[in-house]
Amino acid sequence: MDYLKIKGIDSLQGSIKIAGAKNASLPLIAMTILAKNKLNIENLPDVVDIKTLLKLLTNLGAQCSFEEHHVSVDTKNIHETRATYDIVKTMRASILVLGPILARFGHCEVSLPGGCAIGQRPIDLHLKALEQMGAEIDIKAGYVETKAPNGLKGCEIIFDKITVTGTANIVMAAALAKGTTTIVNAAREPEVVQLCEILNNSGVKIKGIGTSVLKIKGTNGKLVDIKDFAIIPDRIEAGTYLCAAAITNSELTITDVEPKHLDAVIRKFEEMGFSFTLTKDTITIYPANEIKPVKIITQEYPAFPTDMQAQFMALATQANGTSIIEERLFENRFMHVSELQRMGADISLNGHIATVKGKTELSGTDVMATDLRASSALVLAGLIAKGETDIHRIYHLDRGYDSLEKKLQNAGAKVQRLKE
In angstroms, the CA 80 to CA 60 distance is: 5
- Between 301 and 340, how does the x/- string for binding to ligand EPU read (CB under 6 A)? ----xxx---------------------xx----------
Total residues binding ligand EPU (CB under 6 A): 24
Nearest to 168 by CA among 138, 139, 145, 189: 189
d(CA 357, CA 1): 34
Alpha carbon of 310 to those of 24, 243, 313, 332, 380: distances in Å?
A: 21, 10, 5, 12, 10
Catalytic residue, from 116, 155, 196, 243: name it. 116
User: Is 116 marked active-site?
Assistant: yes
CB of 134 to ligand EPU, least distance (A): 18
Cα separation, 322 vs 324, whole angstroms: 7
Say which amino acid occupies 43. Answer: N
In the complex with ligand EPU, which residue's Cβ is closer, 23 or 146? 23
Binding track over 181-200 against ligand EPU, x by CB under 6 A: --------------------
Interface of this chain with ligand EPU, residues 385 to 404, rule: CB under 6 A:
400
Q: Which is nearer to ligand EPU, 8 or 239 (CB)?
A: 239
Kindly tell me which residue out of 25, 165, 181, 202 binds ligand EPU, with binding defined by CB under 6 A. Answer: 165
**Sign of the torsion formed by the C-alpha atoms of 396, 230, 83 and 330:** positive
Alpha-carbon distance 191 to 193, whole Å? Answer: 5
Q: Measured between alpha carbons, how far is 98 from 304 in angstroms, rounded to an integer? A: 29
Nearer to ligand EPU, 159 or 274 (CB): 159
> x/- site string to ligand EPU, residues 111 to 130, per CB under 6 A?
--------xxxxxxxx----
Nearest to 377 by CA among 386, 368, 175: 368
Query: Which residue lies nearer to ligand EPU by CB, 166 or 358?
Result: 166
Min CB(162)–ligand EPU separation in Å: 6
Question: Which of 25, 43, 75, 163: binder of ligand EPU (CB under 6 A)?
Answer: 163
- The sign of the CA dihedral 159, 165, 168, 174 is negative
Interface with ligand EPU by CB under 6 A: which range of 107-115, 149-157, 158-166, 281-289?
A: 158-166
Q: Report DSSP state, residue 90.
A: T
Residues with a catalytic annotation lie at 116
Binding site for ligand EPU (CB under 6 A): 23, 26, 93, 119-126, 161, 163-166, 305-307, 329-330, 372-373, 400
